[in-house]
Chains A and B, each alone.
Chain A
Amino acid sequence: MLSRRDFIKGGVALVSIGTTAQSLLKGAVAFAAQHEGATNPAAAGRILILVQLAGGNDGLNTVVPAGSGAYRSARKTLAIPEEAVLPLAEGYGLHPNLAGLKRAWDEGKLAVVRGVGYPNQDYSHFKSMAIWQAGDPELKLDHGWLGRTLEKLESEQHDPFLGFNIGSSTPAELETPAVSIPSVQDPADYGFKVRGKPADASEPRTRTLLKLYEQYPAQSPYGVLLETTVEAAVASSAALAEAARRYRPAVAYPETSFGAGLSLLAEAIVGGLGVRVGHITLGGFDTHANQAADHGELMQVLDEGLTAFQADLEAHGRADDVLVLTWSEFGRRVAENANGGTDHGASSVMFALGSRVRGGLFGDPPSLERLVDNGNLGYTTDFRRVYATVIEGWLGVPHEELLGARWEQLGFVAG
């Protein structure tokens, strides 16, 4: 935690360089001031962590209709043997590599939403991703669905890490002109360096640089983007460094970049950065070929990462505040192809994981007998019902304006 003395020292340094860094540092300063009394109002705030399974996750081999003959006959080589499936309920079970999530299920912390999709499924990765990210199949709503949510959250809470992305660029669902979203891949490189050594924003060369940004006319093309980027970078790097000093992981995260990213999210949460929405991507789900090995490995990476994250939050006493939601732009074709893979499909499954999740199966199972669009699973549950549930049921923000319509919430958030 920053001491008052550190803060004042920082303040003195700022005075000498005028308004430049005052503006750019205002986020960090506000952060410091806020944490001085350890009364971060966000500490009580609920947090949504969105996990994107990019490429189109095969829902059928994630949450397996173990007893279905139609499933077995469509998946001659890819069907998961019934005895290997980790049983849930109603004849459904998890991929064998999802053992950690199975334990979460047994503890009532895992909700599975089946048959999630939208009308007139688009089979392009990019179009379908854009639809999920906008929260609108018509693509008429502005910005990303979580960006719009963050705009509402921001009216009550200002933190440089209100929205936090693991990666190098802001994903479309977090996009909003009103809130800067830090994107961090490697915290060691997330800050100024002078001659290879970490330096803070009060170092002379950096101060001069910040003046250049302060002087840049905001009305020029990209002027505001440049300025907000720098502003967010300055404030958030100071805050992140402080969080790193406060946090030690309570569990060993798997040595994957997904695991490292989740650990960084935990650091931001435990370190009190005021995160309300976090985002992380696990890619590689476009399994047109060699699916058994590739998808199995992805399931393991997903499971080990989420299991460690949940355990870490529990050990730090923050698990009650966090809900993890997975999504993917589509599922995959019911029938496997000749390359040991599956092609782009329609509806898929989503997981909600957390100590305050009401565990169980949600959404009706899509029919394996009555397929749509030449061999795809129809959807039973509009994805916007899931969004409405986390926006309103979890984050406490009315969803109707944000999604452009009222949707019936699903019951996976426990009171």
Chain B
Amino acid sequence: MVDEGERAVLDPTERHCRRKLRRRAFLAAAGGVAAGGLTIGTAAVMSGGTGKGREPGGSPPEGEATAAAEEAGTGPIADPLRRAAHLLRRAGFGGTPGEIAEFASLTPEEAADRLVDFEGTDNAALEQRITRANFNLTRLRGGDGRPGMASDMRAWWLTRMAYTSRPLEERMTLIWHGLLTSELGKLGIPRTKFMLIQNELFRRMALPRYDDLLKAISRDPAMMVYLDTIQSSAAHPNENYARELMELFSMGVGNYTEQDVREAARAFTGWRLTAPPRVQLPEGASEAERRAAQDAAAEAYEPEFVIQPRLQDRGMKTFLGKTGPFGGDEIIDIIMSHDAPSRFIPVRLFREFAHANPGPETVTWLAEVWNGSGHDIREVVRAILKSAEFNSEAAYRAKIKSPVEFVVGAVRGLELETDFRATLRFWGPMGQTLFQPPNVAGWPGGPAWLASATFFARLNFLDAFLFPRGRPLRVEALLAREDAAGMVDEALRRLVDGVMSDGARAALVAHAESIRDPVERAATVAYLVLASPEYQLA
């Protein structure tokens, strides 16, 4: 499904050609509006730094801009700042100007290594921030002014994404959440903490050997509930997990038979979780006491994976052409020795990081990296981030930002302070509620992120976030610049690599000039740049 959705936009210009013709016809009729006129002012804007020197954006070196425009879609991203910003957007959630400058001083190889080998990076500042925010990660219901666990888990994770010093760690956690999905709705409120356990598994195994991750997720409490493993027994194998393990988590459709699904399902039978603690109820307990006791039991529950031999089918299975008394781990080993995952998982990762349309040579190359590294995700991701294709104009702005990238990118780019609790009501309308993917295939992504309703949701999020209770937020990063044009350029530098057409920049400057109050001007400029088409792209 992901593939189809993404593939459908491989060539958006071709795909939407009819609309485009209509638009062009309209523009012609309207009397020759200067359409487009893209100039890439990156070099000028981004090296403009903190405001001394030349007026950025206005007149980039002519030759440079033209050459860059001509190269668009083929050559490498030449400007180191733009390349660093691209890398930080894709491997993380966008960079602050400081981070971008730091990564721009590295070679693409060094930059990728620094992101991938993150274990040595100190993350104490994030952990201190988390402690200060006092997120409710233990009590199912809120109270005393604190939110319930399910909402605070979202605020907690978004805070991690926004303020981590190890962006790839959070990025991979999100990627695994979208691939190896589970969902709060099916788990039910008492099992809310299962999603937190799963989230911590994904973070702990952010860059694993994929075989190990599959074995771990197969025993993960949330997954075992979500795909019905805990209900599957020898007498009545449930096919749900076995099917999705192959279809979505490892091989893709067309590489196994319905018989393989049935045989694999038998191998995961008898997989259970330890029982939750008994609910202790005092004599004649009230409804409120009963609920409190049930909540306390659910909160205290530490589910452990167990195999119940009498529910397990230990008989012979024939799976993908091999026969034996396989259990679940052997099924995973057989899947991972098959050729199909080498063309499925690395391609999925490539699409997450680079763009939707890897050519056949890239697919083959990715399979070699996959096989050569023994399915080591760390090496696959490292190779992708270092590749010429990733660092090319073809990948630049070639993806639609997800709502998470859209929001967290704004916080990072403008160095805003938030605990994200005020953002929570917007995620459903924007189409990405963490811990609640729409179905087992995760968020379809790509063009599905943008429809008229989700577009309005993005705009209305920005309006509420930048004008809380109708009053402008102090966007300090932009308030450092006093003149309207300077403020616009600072926002462009921070949020869209300074790359915007002259006409659009002029419209922004004109609007900024019409606002006197600097606080309101800064919030308005932030709104407009974050709502711009450029910023919707990653």
Contacts and interface: CB of A to CB of B under 8 A. Distances in A.
A343 B456 contact: no
Interface string A220-233: 11111111111011
Contacts of A223: 12-13, 533
A248 to B, nearest CB: 23
Contact of A193 (B4, B35, B463): B463
A212 B463 contact: no
Interface stretch (A44-52, A202-210, A400-408): A202-210
Chain B, interface SS category: helix
Nearest to B469: A196
Interface stretch (A124-132, A312-320, A356-364, A377-385): A124-132
A338 B248 CA distance: 25
A168 B453 contact: yes
A214 B507 CA distance: 11
Nearest to B236: A338
Contacts of B511: 204-205, 208
Nearest to A197: B470
A16 interface: no
Nearest to A168: B431
B28 to A, nearest CB: 11
A29 to B, nearest CB: 12
A229 B455 contact: yes
A214 B33 CA distance: 10
A195 interface: yes
B36 A217 contact: yes
B449 A169 contact: yes
B126 interface: no
Contact of A237 (B36, B233, B456, B508): B456
Nearest to B15: A177
Contacts of A183: 451-454
Interface string B452-467: 1111110110011001
B451 A221 contact: no
Nearest to A232: B452
A337 interface: yes
Contact of B444 (A169, A208, A224, A233): A169
A230 B451 CA distance: 8
B19 A177 contact: yes
Interface residues of A, number: 77
Nearest to A54: B439
B20 interface: yes
Contacts of A237: 452, 456
B13 A224 contact: yes
A373 interface: yes
Contacts of A213: 532-533
B258 interface: yes
Given A189-B457, A288-B240, A23 B30 contact: yes
Contacts of B261: 123
A289 interface: yes
B365 interface: no
Nearest to B11: A221
A172 B13 CA distance: 19
A215 interface: yes
B501 interface: yes
Given A195-B471, A344-B239, 18 more contacts: A23-B23, A26-B26, A125-B441, A126-B247, A130-B4, A168-B430, A169-B451, A182-B451, A193-B460, A205-B528, A211-B507, A212-B507, A223-B13, A224-B15, A224-B20, A225-B400, A233-B455, A339-B238
Interface of B: 1, 4-5, 8-9, 12-13, 15-20, 23-24, 26-27, 30-31, 33, 35-38, 228, 231, 233, 235-236, 238-240, 243, 247-248, 253, 258, 261-262, 397-398, 400, 429-431, 439-441, 444, 447-457, 459-460, 463-464, 467, 469-471, 501, 503-504, 507-508, 510-511, 514, 524, 527-528, 531-534, 536-537
Interface of A: 18-19, 22-23, 26, 54, 122-127, 129-130, 165, 167-170, 172, 175, 177-178, 180-186, 189-197, 204-205, 208-209, 211-230, 232-233, 236-237, 283, 288-289, 337-339, 343-344, 373-374
